[in-house]
Amino acid sequence: MANEERLDIHNSEIPVVCRACEARHRGICGALDPEQLQKLGKHAIRKVVDDATELYSADQEIERYSNIMSGVVKLSKMMSDGRQQIVGLQFAPDFVGRPFSRQAKTTAEAATTVRLCSFPKNALEKIISETPELEHRLHEQSLKELDEARDWMLTLGRKTAAEKVASFLHLIVTHINPEWEDTEDTVEIELPMKRADIADFLGLTIETVSRQLTNLRKRGIIDIRDRRIVIIPDIHKLFAATQQDLSN
Amino acid sequence: MANEERLDIHNSEIPVVCRACEARHRGICGALDPEQLQKLGKHAIRKVVDDATELYSADQEIERYSNIMSGVVKLSKMMSDGRQQIVGLQFAPDFVGRPFSRQAKTTAEAATTVRLCSFPKNALEKIISETPELEHRLHEQSLKELDEARDWMLTLGRKTAAEKVASFLHLIVTHINPEWEDTEDTVEIELPMKRADIADFLGLTIETVSRQLTNLRKRGIIDIRDRRIVIIPDIHKLFAATQQDLSN
DNA sequence: CGCCTTCTTGAGGGGCGTCAAGCCCAGTGG
DNA sequence: CCACTGGGCTTGACGCCCCTCAAGAAGGCG
């Protein structure tokens, strides 16, 4: 296997911290050659933050970008009187940050414990300008986020409370493991956030979220354990509930 | 002015149809040099379509991209039972289409009479791959659309009907002329769509839109002529109404 | 003039928000 | 060990905002 040896030799140029990183395979760092990885790696800091840690805040200067290595980050907006809306959830190996803007437009907060690989704004933007393939990857992620945001606009604007909660559960399931989208098996998931966050994501109150969860439970679409663990015996039935009013 | 002459000489290489086009200044075509403009221009078709013309449809193959030269295009999503949500409005000189995807994720429809400059998917994507600056412009537009989508998610999820209608009017005013954002003058606008579209954009019914418009009128925030013409004596008062419940 | 579409206005009902009480559990301190 | 506290969650009672249903006005067009 001369090939494997060649691969190993090649690997040896890649920074140690990057070798096992998912962002190098499915994330944006896959666009970088070993030399660029080294350059960026020099400025990169890996860190682990607890849930509720704020990564950056709306209207503030952006100083660092990050890759999510594990965990969930929520992006939110708040009105002056305190009303809040979560406008995006990001999972590994997503890129976090708003390129080409001095100010952040959302607040980013760890929803769970999150492992991050973070680097200064300037270091990344320099490499972007030299690497069209990197900008292409960032562009693809922006387009993916735009698709997701627009899907969610339909949920926010036109679905009932029961459909919204089902849509949330379906989103979580398919983001934890995309293959579960069309499995026949029973699936068990841990909700990455508390009821208040779910309410802010769905444009509801915590009471309504709670009521609709027990509504789905009573209809046999889900089962709930320990308040955070949800069991879904039939994903297709859950999907049906995302578009068909079950409030009666 | 030798400079002007040089500019004129330079201009002579630019396709005639592109010379006065806004997309060459503020739109994506500004990233192209005269040679590339010529290449793309060979495949470009200018057309004028009436309102309610469908440009492309969700889940269908994308064949052409377009620049909006004038008019308004609405992007929408529909559920199987007919519930509909408008997820974006696009104005000149915006680019219309979803790059890097075979299928469209939304339906695009002319909201008003629209002038378009349209070209085949392949022709543009070839030039994109050769022109990093073009991909950068498209990326910037995607990010702008993402910012707008997320702003609108806050409107859909957390605002009252009165705030939503005020938000819609404010959005239209600032998109027709960004300078009106902080003018002290009275402003008069023509709504680019009918009540049913406004309702689909706001996640409301047409009756509620109508009632909230008269609500804003009775409070002196707007005046209405001929159903489609709205007069706004004080933009700042309108802006205040986008975040402060006036339903009582 | 008649017909159609668009829009407004009213009456009534329901879905979700508001307010409140209480359960469960982890953490803390006596 | 247990009392106390506080956060997270559920459940019930009630009210209101917006939806539904319906009628009618206004304007465009043959």
Beta bridge mates, B110: B73
Interatomic CA–C1' length for residue B53 and nucleotide D26, angstroms? 26
Global confidence as pTM: 0.93
B202, closest residue in chain A (CA to CA): A157
pLDDT at A245: 63
Ramachandran area for residue B11 (φ above 0: left; ψ -120 to 50: alpha; else beta): alpha
Residues 93-152 of B with CB under 7 A from strand D: none
- Contact criterion met (CB < 8 Å) for A83 and B145: no
Percent of chain B scoring above 90 in pLDDT: 84
- CA of A16 vs chain B CAs: smallest distance (Å): 30
Q: Would you call A76 exposed, middle or buried from its count of C-beta atoms within 10 A (0-12, 13-18, 19+)? A: buried
**Band of residue B136 on the pLDDT scale cut at 50, 70, 90:** very high
What gap in Å lies between CA B189 and CA B177, rounded to an integer?
10
- Within A159-231, residue ranges assigned H as helices are 161-176, 195-202, 206-218
Query: Which residue type sits at B231?
Result: I
Give whole-number Cα distances, A3 to A16, A30, B93, in Å: 21, 20, 51
Residue A225 Cβ < 7 Å to strand D:
no
What gap in Å lies between CA B141 and CA A132, rounded to an integer?
17
- Contact criterion met (CB < 8 Å) for B79 and A243: yes
Per-residue pLDDT of B194-235, as tens digits, reads: 999 999 999 999 999 999 999 999 999 999 999 999 999 999
- Give the nearest partner residue to A150 out of B77, B100, B136, using CB atoms: B77
CB B145 within 8 A of CB B88: yes
pLDDT of residue B121 exceeding 80, the answer is yes
CB A77 within 8 A of CB A85: yes
Residue B216 Cβ < 7 Å to strand D:
no
pLDDT at A2: 44
Percent of chain B scoring above 70 in pLDDT: 94
- Within A116-205, residue ranges assigned H as helices are 121-130, 132-158, 161-176, 195-202
Report the pLDDT averaged over residues A26-38.
Answer: 91
pLDDT of residue A3 exceeding 50, the answer is no
**Band of residue A22 on the pLDDT scale cut at 50, 70, 90:** confident
- Give the nearest partner residue to B150 out of A84, A139, A149, using CB atoms: A149
pLDDT at B248: 46
- Contact criterion met (CB < 8 Å) for B146 and A147: no
CB A135 within 8 A of CB A36: no
Per-residue pLDDT of A116-147, as tens digits, reads: 999 999 999 999 999 999 999 999 999 999 99
- Six token digits for residue B149: 């989508």
- A138 vs B contacts (CB less than 8 Å): 139
pLDDT at B245: 63
**Closest nt to A208 (CA→C1')?**
C16
Per-residue pLDDT of A87-117, as tens digits, reads: 999 999 999 999 999 999 999 999 999 999 9
3-state secondary structure of B21: coil
